[in-house]
Amino acid sequence: MRKLFNDVWVTELQSPDGATILIADHGAHVLSWKPAGAQEALYLSERSKYGANSAIRGGVPIIFPQFGERGSGQRHGFARLLTWSPDFAGIEQGRAVARFRLSSEEANGSGSGWPHRFDLLYEVAVSGQELHLSLAVHNPSDQAWEFGAALHTYLRVSDLDQVEIGGLHNIRYLDQTGSGAPALQEDALLRIDAEVDRIYLGVAEPIILTDADRVVTVRKQGFSDAVIWNPGPEKSSQLADMAANDYRAFVCIEAGAVEKHVTLAAGERWVGSQSVTVNQK
């Protein structure tokens, strides 16, 4: 179903088993995901802005073609700020599926300043307890270029004090709160009691978030890195599009190609995906 949500067009779908998804044309941004028979699994700020080059706070923003300031363009790229074209919405093999496209023609028309020709295809699929996200990047030009990307997933939690994150033991990370200084995850479980902004490098195992009443498992393919982010109380209070205490309501776990950009030769195609599964304890 197509409808307006906070003045932007969205696609709303339900799978045969009752899982629901809400995706905005603006940024092809996933705004809501409710697994079958379960409550909302994503955080979305009630103070978020929509449209007019605004970055929506929460859900799943698409980061492309650069992560943060790791490039010469605008922070986190332009893909989350532009209107994507709906390509398909319906039921496939028991899943609710939506696809969106964005090309260099739309980006150049917006004044993004990125000089390369590209085509993006983004697929969102839900059924049961799983959300599957897939980003395909195609280089239709006659020269190679490189990019960074991430799926910046805001996972809703009951309370930050109840959260433990596993699957990162003995993995190197870059500490973005310490000017990108390298460090090693020595503890078996990550607990968050202050601002956390870490780029974990070469993450192969699933990341498992344990909350008070559920377990969330995040798997990825194609993306080399994983980012864990929570602004903590001080930074959260400085964000105009988030209530001061909302940092307690989410943790971002995102698949990313961050430390090393992906290089695409002329005519090549790259695909990165992330699957999130929610199970009640």
* Strand (E) or helix (H) holding 214: strand 214-221
Of 61-75, 159-173, 211-225, 258-272, which gets the smallest average pLDDT? 61-75
Look up tokens 């992906």; give the residue.
262
Q: What's the mean pLDDT in 246-256?
A: 97
Average pLDDT of the residues of the chain? 94
Give residue 73's pLDDT.
76
Q: How far is CA 97 from the centre of its chain?
A: 17
Confirm if 137 and 118 have CB atoms less than 8 A apart. yes
- Side chain identity at 204, as an amino acid letter? A
Q: Of 28-37, 59-68, 104-113, 270-279, which range is least confident?
A: 104-113
Residues with Cβ within 8 Å of 109's Cβ and at least 6 positions away in sequence, in order, are: none
Q: What is the mean pLDDT of residues 235-246?
A: 93
Taking only the tens place, the pLDDT of each residue in 83-97 is 999 999 999 999 999
Element holding 125 (H helix, E strand) = strand 119-127
Amino acid at 154: Y
CB 154 within 8 A of CB 43: yes
pLDDT band at 251 (very low <50, low <70, confident <90, very high): very high
Tens digits of per-residue pLDDT, 128-176? 999 999 999 999 999 999 999 999 999 999 999 999 999 999 999 999 9
The pLDDT of residue 134: 98
CA-to-CA separations, 20 to 7, 39, 94, 108, 214, in angstroms, rounded:
20, 10, 13, 33, 18
Each residue's pLDDT tens digit, 35-46: 999 999 999 999
What is the model's pLDDT at position 105?
85
Enter the tokens of residue 91: 């039921």
Provide CATH code, domain 2-280: 2.70.98.10
Residue 201 has pLDDT above 80, yes or no: yes
Domain ranges of the chain: 2-280
As a whole number of angstroms, the distance between CA 184 and CA 229 comes to 16
The pTM for the full model equals 0.96
